[in-house]
């Protein structure tokens, strides 16, 4: 019953993994290149990559001894859609509140304290 969104959000909850995703938006990169600059043992870093890959946010292919990691488009779209949906609801709510505030102001004008 675990949603795809569960995996996307929890994958992105870690700063190391977000950094990897950010880096990958600029193009694919090898594991060791991605690891560079992260003060963390390689096996630990690899676990993060595995989490990203299992979530579907990235894919990877191995050629020779080099594994190259690529970002996936679809998940970003799904995340975006979720957020967009709630952005809309929020905006609608804001509108209602605005109208309410206006209505209250009017009624204040009609019938002050």
Q: Which residues sit at the interface with a second copy, rule CB under 8 A?
A: 1-3, 5-6, 9-10, 12-15, 18, 21-22, 25-27, 71, 73, 76, 79-80, 83, 86-87, 89-90, 93-94
Which structure tokens are listed for 67? 């594994």
Counting contacts by CB under 7 A, is residue 98 touching DNA?
no
Q: Which of 3, 14, 104, 105 binds DNA (CB under 7 A)?
A: 14
Q: How far is the CB of 12 from a second copy (least distance, A)?
A: 5
Please name which of 32, 38, 33, 36 lies closest in space to residue 14, comparing C-alpha atoms. 38
Q: Computed over its alpha carbons, how large is the radius of gyration of the chain? A: 22
Find which of a second copy, DNA, none residue 44 binds, CB within 5 to 8 Å per kind.
DNA
Asked if residues 78 and 68 have their Cβ atoms less than 8 Å apart, the reply is no
Q: How far apart are the first and last CA of the chain?
A: 54
Q: Which residue, 65 or 111, is less far from DNA as judged by CB? A: 65
């Amino acid at each position: 019953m675990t949603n795809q969104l569960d995996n996307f959000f929890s994958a992105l909850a870690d700063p190391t993994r977000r950094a990897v995703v950010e880096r990958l938006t600029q193009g694919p990169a090898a594991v060791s290149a991605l690891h560079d600059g992260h003060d963390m043992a390689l096996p630990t870093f690899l676990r993060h990559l595995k989490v990203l890959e299992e979530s579907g946010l990235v894919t990877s292919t191995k050629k020779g001894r080099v594994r190259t990691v690529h970002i996936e488009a679809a998940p970003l779209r799904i995340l975006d859609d979720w957020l967009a949906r709630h952005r809309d609801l929020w905006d609608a709510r804001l509108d209602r509140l605005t109208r309410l505030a206006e209505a209250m102001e009017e009624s204040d004008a009609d019938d002050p304290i």
